[in-house]
A = this chain, B = another copy of it.
Amino acid sequence: MVGGRYRPLTGPEVERIHTLVLDLLADLGLSQITPSLEARAVAAGCEVDGAGRLRFPRALVEDVIARTRRKFTLHGIDPAHDLEIGGQRVHAGTGGAAPTIMDFASGKYRESTVADLYDIARLVDRLDNIHWYHRSVVARDTKTILDLDINTTYACLSGTTKSIAVSYTDSASVRAVMPMLDAVAGGEGKFRERPFCTAVCCHVVPPMRFATESCDALEAAVEAGMPILLVAAGQAGATAPAALAGAVAQACAEVLAGLILCNIIDPNCRGIFATWPFVSDLRTGAMSGGSGEQALLSAACAQMAAFYDLPNSVPAGMTDSKLPDMQSGGEKGYTISLAAHAGASMIHESAGMHGSLMGTSFESYALDNDLLGAILRTVKGVEVNEDTVNFEVIRDVVLGEGHYLGHPQTYTRMKTDYLYPQIADRRSISAWEEAGARDAREIARDQVSAILADHYPSHIPEAVDRQLRDAFNIILPRDRMRAGNGIW
């Protein structure tokens, strides 16, 4: 499904923003580059100014944009879940780092755990319109960064065969998980052949400053052959300009800085242009992920990425609501649909998130999967051809039966043109009342329970799992990973 039919910016507006992007990279640069990357960057033609800021000459920026990979396969653990990223093909999946989750039993928010990560992975594994599982909650029951990263990687790997991603904030974590990724891939060096784990890398602390440890992680991840999600997450009005166009320009500059570094490390890198400028509610300074302004920021960034023709990501679906309620649906509906129609390659945070990314809920993965299906149907668009725009079909019906119910075209189109949702209730008011007058959240709870009680993926052989448990401090108990564990 190819987007790009919604263009929030005109061509000259895109050019104007691009000019500022080049100016920012060439004439302002970014501070706090690591020594290792500084050496590589200077060798490639960057300059360091008197204040120690790394500047990127315009020609270098244009060169890297021209020669970086325009598309690549984002591998699933199972090749059936491989995704072709690039060229305005639209995909949607999870993302984020919520510290809390709405407990499925109590309905109250609590700290999220490794078991939650694993359960969400299993859920996502069965929800067709969520195309990958990028870790969406923080496992608060780990004690060190290394344990966090190891257990996050393990929980994601074990719970799904879709493509996964983990945010690695230092290079030690990247090096630590490589044997695990190789083991799951089938042996040493095998991960690099089909890298199914993306490194999420917030390589900048906006405005226009590198994040030192994340830059080390970036270097390690690119060298390990991981796809890398280059995230610049400035907040308009706080760490990015309050003017939306300015926030877009700053984000583009910050992400390009990272992409150039990745290309210097490995010209064949799989970099994802992840402009994630967020919106502040300027009354309080708090983030507002569900606002109309956020929808515009994400859509405009997707359009800039299309202008650069880069595999890209924007965030959408980050409702401010704390519940899967009408506010949640509305905010997810317009932010995701505008990002999708603007042609974003990857829409992150598009399932499960609440409270401006501070929380998540099991029900919402199921609900949002349903919503994503409908939105992706709209991206598929209206088919116009001899069969769909056909005088004879209409004439035959009008002069014949008087209705299209029995027409052969209706039967054919029923299968090709129409999507049937899993949760959305289309019954009459009376039929719905007779069936108990339940709301969408309740239906979603049924789907979640059914999947989580039953679906325990077994793609990692027991021998490999034992090997991982011997080599790593895995805190998810093995008997938590089997049906009938008494939890679900």
Contact = CB atoms under 8 A, between A and B. Distances in A.
A190 interface: no
A390 B411 CA distance: 56
A441 B328 CA distance: 11
Q: With a 10 A CB-CB cut-off, give which of A20, A285, A286, A424 has the most chain B CB atoms.
A: A424
A320 interface: yes
A431 to B, nearest CB: 9
A296 B378 contact: yes
A13 to B, nearest CB: 4
A362 B367 CA distance: 24
Nearest to A327: B440
Contacts of A402: 207
A419 B292 CA distance: 8
Interface string A330-343: 11111011100100
A155 to B, nearest CB: 23
Interface string A380-411: 01111101111101110111001111010110
Interface string A347-366: 00000001110110000100
A323 B414 contact: no
B341 A6 contact: yes
A391 B439 contact: no
Given A330-B330, A419-B293, A387 B243 contact: yes
A347 B413 CA distance: 27
Nearest to A341: B6
Nearest to A290: B424
A426 interface: yes
A188 interface: no
A28 B393 CA distance: 12
A109 interface: yes
Assign chain A's interface to a size class. Answer: 35 or more
Given A330-B332, A331-B333, A383 B426 contact: no
Contacts of A364: 326
A109 B24 contact: no
Contacts of A245: 382-385, 388-389
Interface in A272-307: 279, 281-286, 288, 290-293, 295-296, 299-300
Contacts of A437: 322-323
A452 interface: no
Given A282-B418, A327-B367, 15 more contacts: A207-B404, A238-B404, A239-B403, A245-B389, A246-B390, A246-B409, A248-B382, A282-B414, A320-B425, A321-B424, A326-B328, A328-B440, A331-B424, A333-B334, A356-B426
Closest 9 CB pairs of A and B: A333-B333, A329-B329, A292-B377, A329-B330, A243-B388, A327-B440, A242-B413, A282-B414, A6-B6
8 contacts: A24-B394, A241-B394, A241-B407, A241-B409, A243-B383, A293-B377, A296-B377, A359-B429
